[in-house]
Structure 1
Amino acid sequence: MSEPVKIGIGGPVGAGKTQLVERLTRHMSREISMAAITNDIYTIEDAKILAANGILPLDRIIGVETGGCPHTAIREDTSMNTAAIEELKKRHPDLQVIFVESGGDNLSATFSPELVDFSIYIIDVAQGEKIPRKAGQGMIKSDLFIINKTDLAPHVGADLSVMERDSKEFRGEKPFCFTNLKTDEGLERVIEWVRRDVLMLDLAS
Structure 2
Amino acid sequence: MHLDHAETMPQRHTHSTEPLRPDGSPRALRVGLGGPVGSGKTAGVAALCRTLRESWSIAVVTNDIYTREDAEYLLREAVLPPERITAVETGACPHTAIRDDISANLEAVEHLEQTLDPLDLVLVESGGDNLTATFSKGLVEVQIFVIDVASGDDIPRKGGPGITTADLLLVNKTDLAPHVGADLATMASDAKRQRGDLPVIFTSLTSDGGVREVADWVTAHLTEWHGKAAV
Q: What TM-score do the two structures reach when normalised by structure 1?
A: 0.95
Residue 30 in structure 1 maps to residue 54 in structure 2? yes
1:109 and 1:137 in contact (8 A); partners too: yes
Say which SS state the counterpart of residue 169 (structure 2) adopts: strand
Identity rate of aligned residues, in percent? 50
* Change in CA separation of 1:83 and 1:153 when aligned onto 2, cut-off 3 Å: same
How far 1:186 sits from its partner (Å)? Answer: 4.0
* Change in CA separation of 1:165 and 1:54 when aligned onto 2, cut-off 3 Å: farther
1:179 and 1:185 in contact (8 A); partners too: no
Q: What TM-score do the two structures reach when normalised by structure 2?
A: 0.85
How far 1:193 sits from its partner (Å)? Answer: 0.7
How many residues are paired up?
204
How far 1:201 sits from its partner (Å)? Answer: 8.2
Q: CA RMSD in A?
A: 1.6
* Change in CA separation of 1:83 and 1:15 when aligned onto 2, cut-off 3 Å: same
Distance 2:62 2:187 in 1: 28
Distance 2:213 2:221 in 1: 11
Residue 199 in structure 1 maps to residue 223 in structure 2? yes
What are the superposed Cα offsets for residues 16-53 of structure 1, whole Å, 9 maximum, x if unpaired?
A: 10010100110111100000000010000000001111
Residue of structure 1 in register with 2:92 after alignment:
68
Distance 1:48 1:179 in 2: 25
State the one-letter code of the partner of 2:165: K
Residue 145 in structure 1 maps to residue 174 in structure 2? no
Say which SS state the counterpart of residue 21 (structure 1) adopts: helix
1:146 and 1:176 in contact (8 A); partners too: yes
What are the superposed Cα offsets for residues 103-151 of structure 1, whole Å, 9 maximum, x if unpaired?
A: 1321101000000000000000000000000011111111010000001
- Mapping of residues 95-174 of structure 1, within 5 Å: 95-174=119-198
1:195 and 1:201 in contact (8 A); partners too: no
2:39 and 2:146 in contact (8 A); partners too: yes
Residue of structure 1 in register with 2:3 after alignment:
none
State the one-letter code of the partner of 1:168: K
Residue of structure 1 in register with 2:38 after alignment:
14
State the one-letter code of the partner of 2:129: D
1:129 and 1:162 in contact (8 A); partners too: yes
Residue of structure 1 in register with 2:205 after alignment:
181
Say which SS state the counterpart of residue 128 (structure 2) adopts: coil
Residue of structure 2 in register with 1:87 after alignment:
111
Which residue of 99, 102, 118 maps to 1:78?
102
State the one-letter code of the partner of 1:149: K
How far 1:90 sits from its partner (Å)? Answer: 1.4
Distance 2:100 2:119 in 1: 26
Distance 1:95 1:43 in 2: 26
**Which has the larger Rg?**
2
